[in-house]
Amino acid sequence: MVDEALMQPALIFSEISERSVVYCGDALDVLGGLPSCSAQAAITSPPYWGLRDYADPGQIGAEDDVDDYITNLVAVFHELRRVLRDDGTFWLNIGDSYTSGNRRWRAPDRKNPARAMSYRPPTPDGLKPKDLVGVPWRLAFALQADGWYLRSEIIRHKPNAHPESVKDRPTRAHENLFLLSKSEQYYYDYMANRERGVNGRPRNRRTVWSINTEPLSEAHFATYPTKLVAPCIAVSTRVGDCVLDPFFGSGTTGLVAAMMGRSFVGIDLKPEYIAIARRRLAAQGYGFSIIMGEEV
């Protein structure tokens, strides 16, 4: 049923492309220059803590201390809240990590070479080697304390998750998707995200979403799946609204927004990822303006 969201009538291609823009720069800096109450919804997947090195001094996710990582994200999302309309919502996809036991790098996993890392943050104070850090909930509580309404935790189950070489715990096959709102009351069209119940009748979607990962060979990081983004856009925006993604990467949010007749504003540090996004959208007939850091 959710796939129907992708088939909603779109605005004219050129109209979406003219109204959509991607800024190449630091998320906090760029958000600071965007007008208040200008986006209806935000959807993003920030860099996960200690997982990837994007080789940029301004990157988020490579902080030595998990508390600094949380503080940096809360600052970005504080500014994002100002840019959201008062009845707007924010969908945050975030994954967890294990402590490194103070190893400063990670060898390629026998079953998943992509998990190799050139550096790893030290084990946070109070945690032990092998502890699950609990990043999603640390962040969720910090956002709540900063003023966000924490409205839902969705388990993003990945049926095709990579195997792991572990024998002392279950293999991890999920990430978290949090729904946050700026105000107590907000725009939410629950009819746009229904599923079939046990009796075959449509019902409000439950909080476990099984969605396969969709690999994109061009990008050097995990893009999030279009099937994760589409229902978020469907319930929290109308055709013609603006969707914001402050960690735009290869542009999945923009691609789905455009295909659903919404315009978008993206931000990313890396011009090479914005170039990938441009190619992905162009393949579907969409475009966007690019504003480089020094012009912001």
* Binding region for ligand SAM (CB under 6 A): 26-27, 45, 47, 54, 58-60, 219, 221, 223-224, 247, 249-250, 252, 267-270, 273
Which C-beta is closer to ligand SAM: that of 4 or that of 56?
56
Close Cβ partners of 15 (under 8 Å, ≥ 6 residues apart): none
Q: How many residues does the chain have?
A: 296
Residues 226/230/236/242 CA torsion (nearest 10 deg): 60
DSSP 242: E
Provide, rounded to whole angstroms, the least separation between the CB of residue 278 and ligand SAM: 12
Please say which residue, 102 or 289, places its beta carbon nearer to ligand SAM.
289
The residue (of 60 and 258) whose beta carbon lies closer to ligand SAM is: 60
If the CB atoms of residues 87 and 218 are measured against ligand SAM, the closer one turns out to be: 218
238 CB burial (10 A radius; 0-12, 13-18, 19+): middle
- Rounded Cα–Cα distance for residues 101 and 79 (Å): 34
CB of residue 24 to ligand SAM, shortest distance in Å: 9
Q: Which residue is nearest to ligand SAM (CB)?
A: 249
CB of 252 to ligand SAM, least distance (A): 3
Minimum gap (Å) between residue 225 Cβ and ligand SAM: 8
- If we measure between CA atoms, which residue out of 116, 264, 275, 280 comes closest to residue 214? 280
Contacts 24+ apart (CB under 8 A), 55-60: 56/269, 56/270, 58/26, 58/269, 59/269, 60/27, 60/247
Nearest distance in Å: CB 216, ligand SAM: 7
Least separation, in Å, of the C-beta of 158 and ligand SAM? 14
Angle (CA) 211 21 71, round 5°: 65
Nearer to ligand SAM, 225 or 261 (CB): 225
Q: Which is nearer to ligand SAM, 6 or 219 (CB)?
A: 219
